[in-house]
Structure formats: C-alpha cells, structure tokens
Amino acid sequence: MRLLLISCFLYISFSAKASQIALIIDDMGNNKKDAMAFTLPSNVTFAILPNKHLSKIFSKRATAQQREVILHMPMESLAGNNQEKNVLLSNMPPTQIVKMLKIALSTVPDAVGVNNHMGSRLTQLTLPMSVTMEFLSEQGLFFVDSRTTRYTKAEAIAKKNGVLSAKRNVFIDHIPSSEQIDKQFHRLLSLSKKHGYAVGIAHPYPQTLEYLKVHLQTLQKHGIELVKLSDVLSSGSTYAYHSNTKSQPISPAPKFQSSMKSKSR
C-alpha cells in the first residue's frame, strides 16, 4: 500500500509540472518598436542582437524586469544574405571567432546564454562550433540551438563541451500571419504536453506580440506553465520539431578539414 501511495504521489507531482513552455523573442534591439515586447510576462526571454544602438539599453531594461537575456549571435547562413555586423564566418580562425564573441557580449552585458541568429551554414561545421562552445563553457554561458537547419551540430557540440544547452522546438511566426501564428502556438502547447516541455521562438512583430499578450494568459487553463528558459535547460532537451526542409548537409571546405585534423587528438 505504501509503495502504491508513493507511486501515486510521484505521478501527481510529475503531472503537476509536466507541461512547461519556454519562450524566446529573437531579434530584439533592431528598432524602438521592439520595446512593445517588454509588456510580455517576465518569464519570456529576450534574445538581443549585438552591436546595435539599443543592445545595451534593452539588455539593462530586461534585467531590471528580472527577465533572462541571451545574446542572439549572428552566424553565417547558407544563403549569405542580410548578414549582421561582426557575424561569425566559416573562414574565420579560432582567435577571430573568440574576438567576435567577446565584442558581441560586451554590447549585451547581461546575457546568461547565447542562441544563433541565422547560422544555417556555421552550425553545420565542427571547428567553428567547437571554438564557440569552448568559449561559452569558459564564460559559464548556456546555448540554445535555434535549429535553422536540420543538419546542425551545435547542440551536440555544446553538450560535448559541457555547455548547458537546449534546442528550439517551434518557430511561432516563421510565417507571420494570424493563422500561422495561432497554429504554431498551439503546436508548441501540444509538444509541451507530449514531451513535458517545449521551447518556442518568436519575433517582435506587432501581430505576434499582440497575440502572445492575449494567449499567454490562457496557458493555465491548458494546464501549461510559462517558465524561464533556464528552467527548461536544467531539465535537458531530448527532442525537436523539424519542419519539412529542402536544405542539404554541407561538407567542410578543405581548409576546415585541415584545421580539424590538426586540432583532433
């Protein structure tokens, strides 16, 4: 009987905290209109772009709200279009990657972690990701893989380097229409119920922020809790939602193959 009671208690306890979502607002700091996001619950994390006029201002303001801040680090994409200043590139030597990361963090001084802005090329490459994760490990920062390609190695390399990590499960507003935002938001809720937790990424589009302001208030009736990103990290991520994509894995350039061999033991 005692064993049965303990089992029931554990089941009830697990069920009570099983459904959680963590939400990240990417691309913060591009313009003043992004400030609308500060009206969202403080458990929503802000991923702030570095080297912007508003980077430090938003970082400090978010921290004053007891809100978690992460660095939204620009990384090289396969397309190579619209890349930010001081983006991490595949042809950079390790010292340059570290330099760019330090510069970026100096403009988002309250960052407790990092996620990638773009990066569909860079996150597939072992050497730059290893350098990045070694640096994050030294700095005591966590990493969230935005998963801009299904062939990303970022999370696996983060774990190999002892970096606390997680991955994005749903992009809420990849298509920023009302219908798609609603569909993806409910996909996030569904995944959290299925797996116990889920990580969503959205952007400071006016229509997204208006939607979230209303619908985040309804989570309790769905039996779901909005938690800080670090709460989900501590539980560890073991799954990810992958949308259909036509992207293909890339092969490291000869220069990288040479560098990887010299680095390996």
Each domain of the chain, given as residue ranges in start order, spans: 20-263
Residues 6+ apart with CB under 8 A from 165: 142, 143, 144, 145, 155, 158, 159, 233, 237
Reduce the DSSP state of residue 258 to 3 states and report it. helix
Cα angle at 264 between 259 and 265, to 5 degrees?
145
CATH number of 20-263: 3.20.20.370
The tokens of 223 are what? 């039996």
Please give the pLDDT value at position 201: 98
Residue ranges of E strands in the chain = 20-28, 45-48, 69-75, 113-118, 142-145, 165-167, 170-171, 197-202, 225-226
Cα dihedral angle (178, 183, 185, 189), rounded to 10 degrees?
160
Distance, CA of 3 to CA of 12 (rounded, Å): 14
Please give the pLDDT value at position 82: 72
DSSP, res 83: P
pTM of the full structure: 0.84
Per residue of the chain (265 residues), give pLDDT as tens.
444 444 444 444 444 555 999 999 999 999 999 999 999 999 999 999 999 999 999 999 999 999 999 999 999 999 987 788 899 999 999 999 999 999 999 999 999 999 999 999 999 999 999 999 999 999 999 999 999 999 999 999 999 999 999 999 999 999 999 999 999 999 999 999 999 999 999 999 999 999 999 999 999 999 999 999 999 985 444 433 333 334 455 554 433 333 333 332 2
**Is 63 exposed, middle or buried (CB count within 10 Å of its CB: 0-12, 13-18, 19+)?**
middle
* 94: amino acid identity, one letter: P
Please give the pLDDT value at position 74: 98
Distance, CA of 6 to CA of 41 (rounded, Å): 35
